[in-house]
Amino acid sequence: MRVTRERMRVTRERMRVTRDSAHAVAPRTVRVHSRGRGALIGAGIGVVVILGLFAIDAWAPSLFASPLPTRAQDGLTLGLSVLIESLPFVVLGLLLSIVVQVWVPAGLIERWMPRRAWARRAVLSLLGMFLPVCECGNVPLARGLLIRGFSVPETMTFLIAAPIVNPIVILTTHQAFGFDGGILVARLVGGYLIANLIGWLYSRHPDPDALLTERFRAECAHDDHLHGGRVRQSLELFVAELRAVMPALVLGSALAGAIQVIVPRDALLAIGANPVWSILAMMALAMTVALCSNVDAFFALSFASTFTPGSIVAFLIVGPLVDVKMLALLRTTFTTRALAGVVAIVLAAAFVIGVGVNLGG
Protein backbone atom coordinates (compact mmCIF):
# COMPACT_ATOMS: atom_id res chain seq x y z
CA MET A 1 0.00 0.00 0.00
CA ARG A 2 2.88 2.29 0.72
CA VAL A 3 3.85 1.68 -2.89
CA THR A 4 0.39 2.73 -4.03
CA ARG A 5 0.58 5.89 -1.96
CA GLU A 6 3.88 6.69 -3.53
CA ARG A 7 2.43 6.10 -6.99
CA MET A 8 -0.48 8.39 -6.15
CA ARG A 9 1.97 11.10 -5.22
CA VAL A 10 3.97 10.60 -8.38
CA THR A 11 0.79 10.65 -10.45
CA ARG A 12 -0.24 13.92 -8.89
CA GLU A 13 3.10 15.47 -9.60
CA ARG A 14 2.89 14.26 -13.17
CA MET A 15 -0.60 15.70 -13.51
CA ARG A 16 0.53 19.06 -12.28
CA VAL A 17 3.44 19.08 -14.70
CA THR A 18 1.25 18.00 -17.60
CA ARG A 19 -1.31 20.64 -16.83
CA ASP A 20 1.23 23.42 -16.50
CA SER A 21 3.00 22.52 -19.69
CA ALA A 22 -0.31 22.16 -21.50
CA HIS A 23 -1.06 25.76 -20.71
CA ALA A 24 2.35 26.92 -21.82
CA VAL A 25 2.96 24.99 -24.98
CA ALA A 26 1.69 26.26 -28.31
CA PRO A 27 0.39 23.16 -30.18
CA ARG A 28 -2.73 23.22 -28.09
CA THR A 29 -3.89 26.48 -29.64
CA VAL A 30 -3.72 24.98 -33.12
CA ARG A 31 -6.67 22.72 -32.38
CA VAL A 32 -8.68 25.42 -30.70
CA HIS A 33 -10.42 26.54 -33.87
CA SER A 34 -11.81 23.14 -34.84
CA ARG A 35 -12.64 22.34 -31.24
CA GLY A 36 -14.56 25.59 -30.94
CA ARG A 37 -16.68 24.65 -33.94
CA GLY A 38 -17.26 21.19 -32.54
CA ALA A 39 -18.37 22.71 -29.25
CA LEU A 40 -20.85 24.97 -31.04
CA ILE A 41 -22.29 22.07 -33.00
CA GLY A 42 -22.54 20.00 -29.79
CA ALA A 43 -24.31 22.80 -27.96
CA GLY A 44 -26.60 23.23 -30.97
CA ILE A 45 -27.53 19.55 -30.80
CA GLY A 46 -28.16 20.00 -27.07
CA VAL A 47 -30.54 22.92 -27.68
CA VAL A 48 -32.45 20.96 -30.32
CA VAL A 49 -32.79 17.92 -28.04
CA ILE A 50 -34.04 20.05 -25.14
CA LEU A 51 -36.56 21.82 -27.39
CA GLY A 52 -37.65 18.38 -28.59
CA LEU A 53 -38.22 17.29 -24.99
CA PHE A 54 -40.35 20.39 -24.36
CA ALA A 55 -42.39 19.59 -27.46
CA ILE A 56 -42.94 16.01 -26.28
CA ASP A 57 -43.88 17.22 -22.82
CA ALA A 58 -46.42 19.63 -24.30
CA TRP A 59 -48.08 17.42 -26.89
CA ALA A 60 -47.63 13.76 -25.94
CA PRO A 61 -49.96 13.86 -22.90
CA SER A 62 -52.92 14.77 -25.10
CA LEU A 63 -52.56 11.35 -26.76
CA PHE A 64 -53.13 9.49 -23.50
CA ALA A 65 -56.36 10.43 -21.79
CA SER A 66 -56.37 8.14 -18.78
CA PRO A 67 -53.90 5.43 -19.59
CA LEU A 68 -52.84 3.89 -16.29
CA PRO A 69 -54.74 1.95 -13.66
CA THR A 70 -55.40 4.09 -10.58
CA ARG A 71 -52.82 2.42 -8.41
CA ALA A 72 -50.00 2.66 -10.93
CA GLN A 73 -50.92 6.28 -11.65
CA ASP A 74 -50.78 7.07 -7.92
CA GLY A 75 -47.39 5.40 -7.66
CA LEU A 76 -46.13 7.47 -10.61
CA THR A 77 -47.57 10.68 -9.14
CA LEU A 78 -45.95 10.05 -5.75
CA GLY A 79 -42.60 9.01 -7.22
CA LEU A 80 -42.49 11.99 -9.57
CA SER A 81 -43.33 14.38 -6.76
CA VAL A 82 -40.33 13.12 -4.78
CA LEU A 83 -38.18 13.41 -7.88
CA ILE A 84 -39.28 16.99 -8.62
CA GLU A 85 -38.78 17.94 -4.98
CA SER A 86 -35.34 16.36 -4.62
CA LEU A 87 -33.71 17.12 -7.98
CA PRO A 88 -32.98 20.79 -7.13
CA PHE A 89 -31.16 19.74 -3.96
CA VAL A 90 -29.15 17.12 -5.80
CA VAL A 91 -28.19 19.70 -8.43
CA LEU A 92 -27.09 22.11 -5.71
CA GLY A 93 -24.94 19.36 -4.17
CA LEU A 94 -23.51 18.61 -7.58
CA LEU A 95 -22.60 22.27 -8.21
CA LEU A 96 -20.86 22.52 -4.84
CA SER A 97 -19.08 19.26 -5.43
CA ILE A 98 -17.76 20.67 -8.72
CA VAL A 99 -16.64 23.86 -6.97
CA VAL A 100 -14.76 21.87 -4.33
CA GLN A 101 -13.18 19.45 -6.75
CA VAL A 102 -12.26 21.87 -9.52
CA TRP A 103 -12.26 25.45 -8.27
CA VAL A 104 -10.85 25.24 -4.71
CA PRO A 105 -7.06 25.47 -5.00
CA ALA A 106 -5.13 22.33 -4.07
CA GLY A 107 -3.85 22.42 -0.49
CA LEU A 108 -6.37 24.97 0.76
CA ILE A 109 -8.40 22.41 2.75
CA GLU A 110 -5.31 20.57 3.94
CA ARG A 111 -3.73 23.73 5.35
CA TRP A 112 -6.61 24.24 7.77
CA MET A 113 -6.41 20.77 9.25
CA PRO A 114 -5.12 20.15 12.80
CA ARG A 115 -2.30 17.65 13.34
CA ARG A 116 -3.67 15.27 15.97
CA ALA A 117 -5.57 12.29 14.56
CA TRP A 118 -8.70 12.65 16.71
CA ALA A 119 -8.83 16.41 16.16
CA ARG A 120 -8.47 15.93 12.43
CA ARG A 121 -11.38 13.50 12.49
CA ALA A 122 -13.47 15.85 14.60
CA VAL A 123 -12.85 18.69 12.13
CA LEU A 124 -13.36 16.48 9.09
CA SER A 125 -16.72 15.38 10.41
CA LEU A 126 -17.72 19.05 10.56
CA LEU A 127 -16.34 19.68 7.08
CA GLY A 128 -19.76 18.67 5.80
CA MET A 129 -21.07 21.93 7.27
CA PHE A 130 -19.04 23.87 4.74
CA LEU A 131 -19.36 21.41 1.89
CA PRO A 132 -23.10 21.04 1.63
CA VAL A 133 -23.04 17.97 -0.57
CA CYS A 134 -25.73 15.32 -0.31
CA GLU A 135 -24.81 11.73 0.44
CA CYS A 136 -24.45 10.79 -3.21
CA GLY A 137 -22.05 13.64 -3.89
CA ASN A 138 -19.99 12.73 -0.84
CA VAL A 139 -18.59 9.54 -2.26
CA PRO A 140 -16.74 11.12 -5.18
CA LEU A 141 -15.59 13.85 -2.82
CA ALA A 142 -14.30 11.31 -0.30
CA ARG A 143 -12.44 9.50 -3.05
CA GLY A 144 -10.86 12.82 -3.88
CA LEU A 145 -9.82 13.24 -0.24
CA LEU A 146 -8.23 9.77 -0.24
CA ILE A 147 -6.32 10.62 -3.39
CA ARG A 148 -5.21 13.89 -1.79
CA GLY A 149 -3.62 11.79 0.94
CA PHE A 150 -6.12 11.78 3.80
CA SER A 151 -6.10 8.51 5.75
CA VAL A 152 -8.85 5.91 5.45
CA PRO A 153 -10.34 6.41 8.96
CA GLU A 154 -10.35 10.20 8.44
CA THR A 155 -12.14 9.88 5.13
CA MET A 156 -14.62 7.44 6.63
CA THR A 157 -15.40 9.90 9.42
CA PHE A 158 -16.13 12.58 6.83
CA LEU A 159 -18.24 10.18 4.76
CA ILE A 160 -20.42 9.15 7.69
CA ALA A 161 -20.82 12.63 9.17
CA ALA A 162 -21.27 14.77 6.06
CA PRO A 163 -24.67 13.45 4.92
CA ILE A 164 -26.19 14.45 8.29
CA VAL A 165 -24.08 17.34 9.59
CA ASN A 166 -24.89 19.29 6.46
CA PRO A 167 -26.55 22.71 6.08
CA ILE A 168 -29.16 21.58 3.55
CA VAL A 169 -30.06 18.55 5.64
CA ILE A 170 -30.32 20.67 8.79
CA LEU A 171 -32.50 23.15 6.88
CA THR A 172 -34.85 20.55 5.44
CA THR A 173 -35.06 18.58 8.69
CA HIS A 174 -35.87 21.80 10.51
CA GLN A 175 -38.48 22.69 7.90
CA ALA A 176 -40.11 19.29 8.30
CA PHE A 177 -39.96 18.85 12.06
CA GLY A 178 -38.93 22.14 13.69
CA PHE A 179 -37.61 21.28 17.12
CA ASP A 180 -40.47 18.86 17.85
CA GLY A 181 -39.61 15.83 19.94
CA GLY A 182 -35.87 16.51 19.79
CA ILE A 183 -35.77 14.89 16.35
CA LEU A 184 -33.49 17.48 14.75
CA VAL A 185 -31.00 17.58 17.65
CA ALA A 186 -30.93 13.79 18.06
CA ARG A 187 -30.27 13.39 14.35
CA LEU A 188 -27.36 15.84 14.30
CA VAL A 189 -25.66 14.78 17.51
CA GLY A 190 -26.25 11.10 16.76
CA GLY A 191 -24.77 11.35 13.28
CA TYR A 192 -21.74 13.26 14.54
CA LEU A 193 -21.03 10.79 17.34
CA ILE A 194 -21.47 7.71 15.16
CA ALA A 195 -19.06 9.14 12.57
CA ASN A 196 -16.37 9.79 15.17
CA LEU A 197 -16.94 6.41 16.79
CA ILE A 198 -16.42 4.68 13.45
CA GLY A 199 -13.37 6.82 12.66
CA TRP A 200 -11.85 6.00 16.03
CA LEU A 201 -12.54 2.25 15.73
CA TYR A 202 -11.04 2.02 12.26
CA SER A 203 -8.03 4.12 13.24
CA ARG A 204 -7.15 1.20 15.51
CA HIS A 205 -7.17 -1.14 12.52
CA PRO A 206 -3.63 -2.47 11.95
CA ASP A 207 -3.69 -1.79 8.20
CA PRO A 208 -6.43 0.74 7.33
CA ASP A 209 -5.49 0.77 3.67
CA ALA A 210 -6.61 -2.86 3.48
CA LEU A 211 -10.15 -1.49 3.90
CA LEU A 212 -9.99 -0.14 0.37
CA THR A 213 -10.87 -2.28 -2.62
CA GLU A 214 -8.17 -3.44 -5.01
CA ARG A 215 -10.06 -1.67 -7.76
CA PHE A 216 -9.94 1.71 -6.08
CA ARG A 217 -6.27 1.32 -5.24
CA ALA A 218 -5.62 0.52 -8.87
CA GLU A 219 -7.58 3.59 -9.94
CA CYS A 220 -5.67 5.81 -7.53
CA ALA A 221 -2.54 4.78 -9.34
CA HIS A 222 -3.68 6.43 -12.57
CA ASP A 223 -6.11 9.04 -11.46
CA ASP A 224 -5.20 11.67 -14.00
CA HIS A 225 -8.50 11.66 -15.79
CA LEU A 226 -9.47 15.32 -15.63
CA HIS A 227 -8.64 17.07 -18.87
CA GLY A 228 -8.36 20.63 -20.06
CA GLY A 229 -9.29 23.89 -18.38
CA ARG A 230 -11.53 24.33 -15.38
CA VAL A 231 -14.72 24.94 -17.34
CA ARG A 232 -14.12 21.79 -19.31
CA GLN A 233 -13.37 19.83 -16.11
CA SER A 234 -16.53 21.17 -14.51
CA LEU A 235 -18.67 20.07 -17.45
CA GLU A 236 -17.05 16.63 -17.47
CA LEU A 237 -17.77 16.26 -13.76
CA PHE A 238 -21.34 17.47 -14.41
CA VAL A 239 -21.86 14.64 -16.91
CA ALA A 240 -20.08 12.00 -14.82
CA GLU A 241 -21.66 12.84 -11.48
CA LEU A 242 -25.18 13.06 -12.90
CA ARG A 243 -24.57 9.68 -14.48
CA ALA A 244 -23.58 8.31 -11.09
CA VAL A 245 -26.49 9.85 -9.19
CA MET A 246 -29.52 10.11 -11.48
CA PRO A 247 -30.43 6.41 -11.98
CA ALA A 248 -30.22 5.82 -8.24
CA LEU A 249 -32.26 8.95 -7.57
CA VAL A 250 -35.00 7.97 -10.03
CA LEU A 251 -35.13 4.39 -8.76
CA GLY A 252 -35.21 5.60 -5.17
CA SER A 253 -38.08 7.99 -5.91
CA ALA A 254 -40.01 5.35 -7.85
CA LEU A 255 -39.51 2.86 -5.03
CA ALA A 256 -40.64 5.39 -2.44
CA GLY A 257 -43.81 5.96 -4.49
CA ALA A 258 -44.37 2.25 -4.98
CA ILE A 259 -44.00 1.49 -1.28
CA GLN A 260 -46.61 4.13 -0.43
CA VAL A 261 -49.05 2.51 -2.85
CA ILE A 262 -48.30 -1.15 -2.16
CA VAL A 263 -47.65 -1.42 1.57
CA PRO A 264 -50.98 -1.05 3.36
CA ARG A 265 -51.10 1.79 5.83
CA ASP A 266 -52.75 -0.45 8.40
CA ALA A 267 -49.74 -2.76 8.52
CA LEU A 268 -47.43 0.18 9.16
CA LEU A 269 -49.79 1.66 11.74
CA ALA A 270 -49.83 -1.60 13.66
CA ILE A 271 -46.04 -1.51 13.99
CA GLY A 272 -45.71 2.24 14.37
CA ALA A 273 -46.86 2.65 17.94
CA ASN A 274 -44.57 0.05 19.51
CA PRO A 275 -41.45 1.73 20.96
CA VAL A 276 -39.07 -1.05 19.89
CA TRP A 277 -40.64 -2.57 16.78
CA SER A 278 -41.29 0.85 15.29
CA ILE A 279 -37.55 1.57 15.45
CA LEU A 280 -36.64 -1.70 13.76
CA ALA A 281 -39.32 -1.17 11.10
CA MET A 282 -38.17 2.37 10.33
CA MET A 283 -34.51 1.29 10.13
CA ALA A 284 -35.49 -1.43 7.65
CA LEU A 285 -37.49 1.14 5.69
CA ALA A 286 -34.58 3.60 5.72
CA MET A 287 -32.20 1.02 4.29
CA THR A 288 -34.59 0.07 1.48
CA VAL A 289 -36.09 3.35 0.29
CA ALA A 290 -32.63 4.91 -0.22
CA LEU A 291 -33.73 8.53 -0.22
CA CYS A 292 -31.27 11.39 -0.45
CA SER A 293 -30.54 12.82 2.98
CA ASN A 294 -31.55 16.25 1.67
CA VAL A 295 -35.16 15.20 1.30
CA ASP A 296 -35.66 12.20 3.55
CA ALA A 297 -37.04 14.45 6.30
CA PHE A 298 -40.06 15.25 4.11
CA PHE A 299 -40.55 11.55 3.54
CA ALA A 300 -40.24 10.78 7.24
CA LEU A 301 -42.81 13.47 7.95
CA SER A 302 -45.49 11.32 6.34
CA PHE A 303 -44.81 8.74 9.06
CA ALA A 304 -44.57 11.19 11.91
CA SER A 305 -48.23 10.93 12.86
CA THR A 306 -48.15 7.16 13.18
CA PHE A 307 -44.60 6.29 14.28
CA THR A 308 -42.74 6.98 17.52
CA PRO A 309 -40.25 9.93 17.49
CA GLY A 310 -37.38 7.54 18.28
CA SER A 311 -38.15 5.50 15.18
CA ILE A 312 -38.20 8.68 13.07
CA VAL A 313 -34.76 9.59 14.46
CA ALA A 314 -33.46 6.07 13.72
CA PHE A 315 -34.81 6.42 10.18
CA LEU A 316 -33.12 9.79 9.72
CA ILE A 317 -29.79 8.48 11.02
CA VAL A 318 -29.68 5.13 9.23
CA GLY A 319 -31.00 6.32 5.86
CA PRO A 320 -28.23 8.72 4.87
CA LEU A 321 -25.43 6.48 6.13
CA VAL A 322 -26.09 2.91 5.08
CA ASP A 323 -29.08 2.67 2.74
CA VAL A 324 -28.83 0.32 -0.24
CA LYS A 325 -27.91 3.07 -2.67
CA MET A 326 -25.22 4.49 -0.38
CA LEU A 327 -23.77 1.03 0.30
CA ALA A 328 -23.59 0.41 -3.42
CA LEU A 329 -21.77 3.72 -3.89
CA LEU A 330 -19.41 2.99 -1.00
CA ARG A 331 -18.67 -0.47 -2.33
CA THR A 332 -16.67 1.19 -5.14
CA THR A 333 -14.14 2.27 -2.59
CA PHE A 334 -14.35 0.10 0.52
CA THR A 335 -14.28 -3.69 0.93
CA THR A 336 -17.40 -5.63 1.86
CA ARG A 337 -15.89 -6.50 5.23
CA ALA A 338 -15.22 -2.89 6.09
CA LEU A 339 -18.77 -1.94 5.10
CA ALA A 340 -20.29 -4.78 7.15
CA GLY A 341 -18.55 -3.32 10.19
CA VAL A 342 -19.86 0.16 9.42
CA VAL A 343 -23.43 -1.11 8.93
CA ALA A 344 -23.35 -3.02 12.22
CA ILE A 345 -22.09 0.01 14.14
CA VAL A 346 -24.58 2.41 12.54
CA LEU A 347 -27.58 0.13 13.11
CA ALA A 348 -26.66 -0.57 16.72
CA ALA A 349 -25.99 3.09 17.50
CA ALA A 350 -29.17 4.29 15.75
CA PHE A 351 -31.20 1.72 17.69
CA VAL A 352 -29.77 2.90 21.00
CA ILE A 353 -30.39 6.56 20.12
CA GLY A 354 -33.93 5.76 18.99
CA VAL A 355 -34.75 3.94 22.21
CA GLY A 356 -33.20 6.83 24.14
CA VAL A 357 -35.44 9.36 22.35
CA ASN A 358 -38.53 7.22 22.94
CA LEU A 359 -37.78 6.84 26.64
CA GLY A 360 -36.77 10.48 27.04
CA GLY A 361 -39.85 11.74 25.16
| Interacting residues with other proteins between 71 and 110 (CB under 8 A) | 71, 73-74, 76-85, 87-88, 91-92, 95
Out of 4, 123, 274, 298, which residue is the one contacting other proteins (CB under 8 A)? Answer: 298
Q: Note whether 125 and 192 are within 8 A (CB).
A: yes
Out of 189, 235, 276, 280, which residue is the one contacting other proteins (CB under 8 A)? Answer: 235
Provide, rounded to whole angstroms, the least separation between the CB of residue 3 and other proteins: 14
Q: Rounded distance, CA 56 to CA 201, Å?
A: 54
Query: Which of 113/254 has CB closer to other proteins?
Result: 254
Query: Which of 43/344 has CB closer to other proteins?
Result: 43
Q: What burial letters (b/e) apply to 305-343, b meaning 16+ CB within 10 Å?
A: eebbbbbbbbbbbbbbbbbbbbbebbbebbbeebbebbb
Out of 197, 251, 343, 352, which residue is the one contacting other proteins (CB under 8 A)? Answer: 251
Q: Rounded distance, CA 151 to CA 224, Å?
A: 20
Q: Rounded distance, CA 95 to CA 268, Å?
A: 38
Out of 45, 119, 267, 348, which residue is the one contacting other proteins (CB under 8 A)? Answer: 45
DSSP state letter for 263:
S
Instruction: Rule CB under 8 A: say whether 242 interacts with other proteins.
Output: yes
Span 193-232, contacts to other proteins by CB under 8 A: 214-216, 218-219, 221-222, 225-227, 232
Provide, rounded to whole angstroms, the least separation between the CB of residue 136 and other proteins: 9
Provide, rounded to whole angstroms, the least separation between the CB of residue 335 and other proteins: 13
Binding residues for other proteins, total number by CB under 8 A = 96
Span 132-171, contacts to other proteins by CB under 8 A: 139-140
Identify which range of 44-52, 126-134, 152-160, 307-315 contacts other proteins by CB under 8 A. 44-52
Coil, helix or strand at residue 334: strand
Identify which range of 2-10, 35-43, 161-169, 197-205 contacts other proteins by CB under 8 A. 35-43
Amino acid sitting at position 58: A
Span 318-357, contacts to other proteins by CB under 8 A: 325, 328-333
Amino acid sitting at position 149: G
Q: Rounded distance, CA 168 to CA 298, Å?
A: 13
Q: What burial letters (b/e) apply to 59-78, b meaning 16+ CB within 10 Å?
A: eeeeeeeeeeeeeeeebeeb
